[in-house]
Structure 1
Amino acid sequence: MFIDLPLDELRRYRPPLPEPPGFDAFWHRTLTETHAHDLDARFTAVDAGMALLDTYDVEFAGFGGHRIRGWFLAPRGAEGPLPCVVQYLGYGGGRAHPHDWPLWPCAGLATLVMDARGQSGPDRPGDTPDPVGADHPGVPGKMTQGLLAPDTYYYRRLYTDAVRAVEAAGAHPMVDPARIVVSGRSQGGACALAVAGLVPEVAAALIDVPFLTDIRRALEVTEDGPYGELARYFAGERLDIDRALATLDHVDGLNFAARAQTPALFSTGLRDAVTPPSTGFAAYHHYAGPKEQQVWRFNGHEGGGGHQRTEQIRFVRELFG
């Protein structure tokens, strides 16, 4: 069923930015501290059984210098430098297998898939631990890990890893650093949106049903998916709510959208109870750069699926020719 505002109201929905004091200084300090660590991007060729693709096991230094894993794939025999799509992952899963990521190499681009630290799943296994422990009790999942301070919050680390993934992609000799696109769905969309606001050099952003945007509104209208972790935490830790919300403001995608200038393609499903459509529309409306939005009226958190991939290929081809 439709779980949010009517479409005509969604097209007008533009809430105030939840920008905390010192937002820019916080992220400037975070990235400055991260850049003190050598990126040390390593690409090790592997035989993944795909005769038409070159495949590499990737490692680079993310937040805190922690080693982040990934995959890098490119069309075999292609003459570089190529555009590259940096792919971020949805909640609860890892980089999976190289054969899960042939879309962009088949379209003639390279792709770097960033593993999500500390996340794995039965169908999407991950290979990157998160060496930073929580500083307080939480509920299962990542939403409450380090939640009581911006410096310790899990998504500070994940967003920083996402920035470094762009740098790692640009370090590969097959990649044109001026033609890097960031892409992701749900949590991956949150990462793509954050990077679009933090790294002005990226060429484009593909942001599907983004998570962690307009967070305070999301908590009012849904308990599905990862937002339910926050609801369960707040039900018990009643005295921590305001402190936790202040932390969440530091990772809210609306604040990154207002700073992003790169062209972007968004998608929203009107029956999405995991990332309610009003939160996706809010990110789209605040996005400062050139933008398009695909609205899927009878779809939920899967968004446009293969139809959205078709739109993304079209968008990238128009961008790069």
Structure 2
Amino acid sequence: MLIDKPIDELRTYLGSSPLPEDFDSYWDESLAELAALPPEIELIPSEFQAPNAECFDLWFTGTGNARVHAKLLRPAGATRKHPAVVQFHGYSGNSGDWCDKLNYVSAGFTVASLDVRGQGGPSQDVTPVTGTTLRGHIIRGVDDPDPKKLLFRNIFLDTARTARIVMAMDDVDETRVGAMGGSQGGGLTLACAALVPELNRASATFPFLSDYRRVWNMDLAKAAYDELQYYFRWFDPTHAREEEFFRRLGYIDVQNLAPRIRCRIMMATGLMDTVCPPSTQFAAFNKITAPKEHVFYPDFGHEGLPGHNDRTFRFMTDMLK
């Protein structure tokens, strides 16, 4: 049974959502803005501590002067530089429990787990926008005159700042830093890898935030993508501005960022995924020119993929060698 294109077509599919003409300058200017903004880092010992780890609440300033939070864990008593991994969570969630990061700390990694601004953790969402703010972060800012008010533009920059902060830590080997996440976290992993090309590797599991028009054309603007349907029903019921809408979303479409990726990539896709359709994931993967591998799970959708956490752990711990 197929829910999307046949595998041979998926392997060559390059997406259907538009690419804004000023896409590269948009992101170059955004990165320059971020670099000019003092990070104002705070590292505060957390109430949670573990015998093998030092645990901190990491705060920094992101675009719009939002204060952004991440959990930061590092091996206790580390005496030499070691690798690190930055982690990104699923849509609407948060960075999760401290203890579920200790496997990487025990292996010798510093771990930074970002709380996406305005979602389930304490990070601030402070950017004022024109237009709806009720249903979803993809469409937040889509009607603002300034495309740099798109919320996911700021979130993507938060991932880059998180990685840069970790890479600059005295006890971290900046040449051995990876990124990882699933669903929204997978999309943010690809965005981070694109915006921080010095990353060593990245593992993106069924990435969200890719090829929005394809989602719409498949009639899958529901679940995580239901805000697309909400937007058209309330703000463009005749689709008079459909092209404009998808072109604006092109700034925050990870398939458009994918050509910027330079690090080693591992992606995983459930071929029965109706939340983040396989073709949307392939649209990003097929545009990556860096070393890459794509793991398929033919009978699985947007769910736990048996053995894949272990596969990701091995992928990251290769940096210990």
TM-score by length of 1: 0.92
Distance, in Å, in 2 between the alignment partners of 1:15 and 1:119 is: 28
In structure 2, what is the equivalent of residue 183 of structure 1? 180
In structure 1, what is the equivalent of residue 224 of structure 2? 226
In structure 2, what is the equivalent of residue 123 of structure 1? none
Q: Map 1:122-271 to 2 at 5 A.
A: 126-149=121-144, 150-221=147-218, 222-238=220-236, 239-271=240-272
Q: Which stretch shifts more, 224-233 or 159-168?
A: 224-233
In structure 2, what is the equivalent of residue 85 of structure 1? 85
In structure 1, what is the equivalent of residue 48 of structure 2? 48
Alpha-carbon spacing, 1:96–1:16, altered in 2? closer, same or farther (3 Å): closer
Which amino acid in structure 2 is aligned with residue 263 of structure 1?
Answer: R
Distance, in Å, in 1 between the alignment partners of 2:128 and 2:211 is: 27
Unaligned runs of 5+ in 2: none
Conservation of the 8 A alpha-carbon contact between 2:273 and 2:301: yes
Question: SS of the counterpart of 1:180?
Answer: strand
Q: Map 1:1-80 to 2 at 5 A.
A: 2-15=2-15, 18-80=18-80
Distance, in Å, in 2 between the alignment partners of 1:156 and 1:97 is: 26
Matched residue count: 315
Distance, in Å, in 1 between the alignment partners of 2:10 and 2:215 is: 14
Question: SS of the counterpart of 1:286?
Answer: coil
Task: Report deviation, 1:2.
Answer: 4.2
Distance, in Å, in 1 between the alignment partners of 2:293 and 2:173 is: 24
Task: Report deviation, 1:83.
Answer: 0.7
Cα shift readout 1:271-291 (whole Å, capped 9, x = no counterpart): 111100111112111111000
Task: Report deviation, 1:240.
Answer: 4.1
Which amino acid in structure 2 is aligned with residue 94 of structure 1?
Answer: N
Distance, in Å, in 2 between the alignment partners of 1:63 and 1:301 is: 31
Distance, in Å, in 2 between the alignment partners of 1:165 and 1:110 is: 12
Distance, in Å, in 2 between the alignment partners of 1:118 and 1:2 is: 36
Cα shift readout 1:177-217 (whole Å, capped 9, x = no counterpart): 22111111111111111121122111111111111112211
Distance, in Å, in 1 between the alignment partners of 2:257 and 2:17 is: 10
Question: SS of the counterpart of 1:298?
Answer: coil
Which amino acid in structure 2 is aligned with residue 213 of structure 1?
Answer: S
Distance, in Å, in 1 between the alignment partners of 2:31 and 2:249 is: 18
Question: SS of the counterpart of 1:302?
Answer: coil
Alpha-carbon spacing, 1:27–1:287, altered in 2? closer, same or farther (3 Å): same
Which amino acid in structure 2 is aligned with residue 85 of structure 1?
Answer: V
Question: SS of the counterpart of 1:84?
Answer: strand
Question: SS of the counterpart of 1:54?
Answer: strand
Cα shift readout 1:19-66 (whole Å, capped 9, x = no counterpart): 211111101111211222112222112241422221111011211332
Task: Report deviation, 1:320.
Answer: 4.4
Which amino acid in structure 1 is aligned with residue 313 of structure 2?
Answer: I
Cα shift readout 1:68-127 (whole Å, capped 9, x = no counterpart): 11111122233331111011121001223322322321332111011100001xxxxx11
Aligned-pair Cα RMSD in Å? 1.9
Cα shift readout 1:160-183 (whole Å, capped 9, x = no counterpart): 111100111123222112211111
In structure 1, what is the equivalent of residue 276 of structure 2? 275
In structure 1, what is the equivalent of residue 113 of structure 2? 113
Task: Report deviation, 1:241.
Answer: 2.9
Q: Are residue 318 (structure 1) and residue 318 (structure 2) matched?
A: yes
Task: Report deviation, 1:7.
Answer: 2.5
Question: SS of the counterpart of 1:31?
Answer: helix
Q: Which stretch shifts more, 103-112 or 288-297?
A: 103-112
Question: SS of the counterpart of 1:227?
Answer: helix
Distance, in Å, in 2 between the alignment partners of 1:177 and 1:295 is: 31
Question: SS of the counterpart of 2:174?
Answer: strand
Alpha-carbon spacing, 1:18–1:246, altered in 2? closer, same or farther (3 Å): closer
Alpha-carbon spacing, 1:202–1:8, altered in 2? closer, same or farther (3 Å): same
Q: Which stretch shifts more, 99-108 or 220-229?
A: 99-108
Identity %: 32
Task: Name segments (4+ residues, structure 1) moved above 6 Å.
Answer: none
